[in-house]
Amino acid sequence: MIDCGGVPMAIGVQTDMATPALALHGSRELRDEFLAPAIAGDFVACLGVSEVGSGSDVASVKTRARKDGADYIVNGGKMWTTGGTQADFCCVLANTSEGAPHRNKSLIIAPMSTPGVTVARKLKKLGMRASDTAQLHFDDVRVPQRYRNGEEGMGFIYQNKQFQLERLWGALNSVGMAQRAIDITIDYTHERRAFGRTILDNQSVGYRLAELQTAIGALQALCWQGVEEVVAGQDAIRTAAMAKLKAGRVIREVADGCLQFWGGMGYMDDSRIARIFRDGRLTSIGGGTGDVMLHILSKSMGTFPRDRCRAGTRIDPTPTAPPPHEPHRTGPCHDRHAHSIPQNPDR
């Protein structure tokens, strides 16, 4: 068994992050040239979405692709690109026109061997160390317009669809990591002795592991609900967000709780539980942070403050008198923090 998070991460990028939009929207020619070799294992794919200053806020990416004859000229950079140091092609989200940020982006396939594509550096991470992560630069990179994935201006929409698969994959991967943490901790506490008995002979240890196992089971059920929605062709954005949000919390709780039972050995850099502790922390960050998942869910529930303001709903139905140092606020919305919440519906 490969006992690390980096290897499944590399596989997940190939199958559920960098290629789904290509499979769904790419032309036959584009699929034959890039998707077929990726499925065969001859090509490694990476996804170029996040940038310095544009992580979860995908609508704010700055990379641009301008038309020049039958080509695009791509300029910009991408950050935290999994597999970027060894990929054969990158699925790049770039601005291809002016206008609304949700309608001016396209997904473009850029072969990594194209002049102007450079790997600026390999990034050193807290966890997932067996999976390479790169910062990429695109300097006057010329690619044919036929390498555009689907319709021009639909890149943001396509990418949001890819996020559903990415988030479900991340949640299910966390289920596997959490279960492994439980399994190896049971083995360790069964063998490790203190005060004349094994650690597992303490009833509180068994009870705590049972609680953690229950959390994993509930998360797994939620994940499979999302998978069933995807297979049925339904929009799984809400379920995927719930699964990813819960997965990030469960893997942290499980890894931390299990590590505690390993004592000083669990704090060692080369222990198996420490590796899970490090690798699992990514779940609440990659593919949209936990707070972004809450943002998505609150909008889907109609409880997001600004949406309620647009609907003419008073946030506080029984407002009290304002403090002396604040002006009185009236109208359907008087939440002074509402405008600080990002408006990106997904990332």
Tell me which residues are annotated as active site: 166
**DSSP character string of 257-310:** HHHHHHGGGGGSTTSHHHHHHHHHGGGGTTTS-HHHHHHHHHHHHT--HHHHHH
Q: Name the residue among 74, 145, 65, 77 with its Cα closest to residue 114.
A: 74
Strands 89-95 and 45-48: parallel
Can you name the residues that pair with 119 across neighbouring β-strands?
136
User: Residue 119 — φ and ψ, nearest 5°?
Assistant: -90, 105
Contact present, 149 and 29 (Cβ < 8 Å): no
Q: How far apart are CA 240 and CA 234, in angstroms?
A: 12
How far is 83 from 134, CA to CA, in rounded Å?
A: 7
Instruction: Report how many helices (DSSP H) and strands (DSSP E) the chain contains, helices first.
Output: 10, 10
List CB contacts of 78: < 8 A, sequence separation 6 or more: 48, 49, 50, 51, 63, 84, 90, 92, 135, 136, 138
* Residue 211: partners with Cβ closer than 8 Å, 6 or more residues away: none
Tokens of 223: 């994940």
